[in-house]
Amino acid sequence: MIAFYGMGLLGANFVRALRSRGEELHVWNRTHAKAAALEEVGAKVFTDPAEAARGATRVHVVLSDDDAVDGLLERIAPGLTPGVVIVDHTTTSATGAVRRAAAWRERGFRFLHAPVFMGPGNALRGTGVMLASGDRATFDEVAPELAKMTGRLEFVGDDPGRAAGLKLIGNLVLQALTGGMADGFALAKALGIPAEDAAGLFSIFNPANTVPYRLERMLSRDFSNPSWALSMARKDSRLMLEEASRGGERLPVIEALAGTMDEWIAKGHSEDDWTVFARDAMGPKPGA
C-alpha cells in the first residue's frame, strides 16, 4: 500500500495514474475536499495523516515547501512503519533535503528526494522528468516504481541535496526565459508589433539551438575570440531599452542584465565574448 500526501494538481494526478495501475492508495490533503475527490478513482481518503501512513510500504509527498514537508512528516511519524521509504517530490531547498535525509535516517526511516519537471498532464500520463538523489540502495529499490510515474528518471548522485539543487537551477532558467519573453513582448508593444507576430519569430529563429554552444563556451572558461563581443551585446541592449522607453515600456530583465554588462565592461572585458559575465560563477575548471 502507498500513502500519498498533497492532492494539488500534480499529486492528484499521480494518484489517478497509480490507481489506473491497480495500486492501493491512502491519501490525505490539508484541504480535505481535494482528497475526497479521489474516492471516485478508488483511493482511500483519511482526515488523520498518521492513520493514512499506517501499513504503507512507501510514502509520497508533494507539498509546497520545506516547512510544509517538515510539518507533515512530524504529523505522520506515529503511523510510519520502521524502514519505510519516504519519497519527497516537493521543490525544496537543497539544505532542507540534506537535513531531512539525515534526521529521518536517525529515526529509522529512509528519505529520498525526487523533485520533478512535470505538470499535471505529465503526472497523469507518466511523462516528464524526475530527478532523485540520496542513498543509492534506496533509490535502486524504488526505481522500478518511480520509473512508472515519469518519462525519464535520473539518479543524480549520493548527495541528498543534489536533486533539489538541480531542480532549483532548472526552475531558475525557466523563470529567466519567461522573464526574457515578457521583456520581448514589452519591446514588441513599444514598437507596435503585435504579440502574435513577435511570437512568430521563434518559428523562424529557435534560440534553443544556441544553448549547447553557449554552455560549451562558458564551461571552457575561455572568453577570447568572441562570437558576440560584450560591447556589441551591450549596444544591442541599449537599443532595446531606448526603443522600449520611447514606447512607454520597461524591460526589467534587460535592465538588470545591462547593469551586469556595464560592470564587466568596466573591468576591461568589452572585447571578450559576451558570456564572460558568467566567468566568476563558473568556478575553476575540473582538473585545473
Q: Are residues 80 and 218 in the same domain?
A: no
Structural domain harbouring 64: 2-160
pLDDT tens digits, 188-198: 999 999 999 99
Give the integer Cα–Cα distance in Å for 160 and 102. Answer: 9
Q: Are residues 154 and 183 in the same domain?
A: no
Q: Are residues 183 and 273 in the same domain?
A: yes
Q: Is residue 130 helix, strand or coil?
A: strand
Q: Does 165 map to a domain?
A: no
Q: Does 118 map to a domain?
A: yes
User: Phi-psi category of 55—alpha, beta or left, where left has phi over 0 and alpha has psi -120 to 50?
Assistant: left
pLDDT tens digits, 92-131: 999 999 999 999 999 999 999 999 999 999 999 999 999 9
Domain boundary among 94, 125, 160: 160
Q: Are residues 30 and 146 in the same domain?
A: yes
Instruction: Give Cβ neighbours of residue 279 (< 8 Å, ≥ 6 apart).
Output: 221, 223
Q: Is 189 exposed, middle or buried (0-12, 13-18, 19+ CB in 10 A)?
A: middle
pLDDT tens digits, 21-61: 999 999 999 999 999 999 999 999 999 999 999 999 999 99
Q: Does 60 map to a domain?
A: yes
CB of 160 closer than 8 Å to CB of 134: yes
pTM of the model: 0.94
Q: Can you give the CATH number for the domain in which 88 is found?
A: 3.40.50.720
| φ, ψ of residue 193 in degrees (nearest 5) | -100, 120
> Cell triple for residue 152?
525519464
Q: Does 131 map to a domain?
A: yes
Q: Are residues 226 and 131 in the same domain?
A: no
pLDDT tens digits, 224-274: 999 999 999 999 999 999 999 999 999 999 999 999 999 999 999 999 999
Q: Are residues 77 and 214 in the same domain?
A: no
Sheet with 25-28: list strands edge to edge: 44-45, 25-28, 2-5, 58-61, 85-88, 110-113
pLDDT of residue 252: 98
Structural domain total, the chain: 2
The pLDDT confidence band at residue 173, using thresholds 50, 70 and 90, is: very high
The pLDDT confidence band at residue 285, using thresholds 50, 70 and 90, is: confident
Q: Can you give the CATH number for the domain in which 257 is found?
A: 1.10.1040.10
CB of 55 closer than 8 Å to CB of 46: no
Q: Are residues 32 and 121 in the same domain?
A: yes
Q: Does 166 map to a domain?
A: no
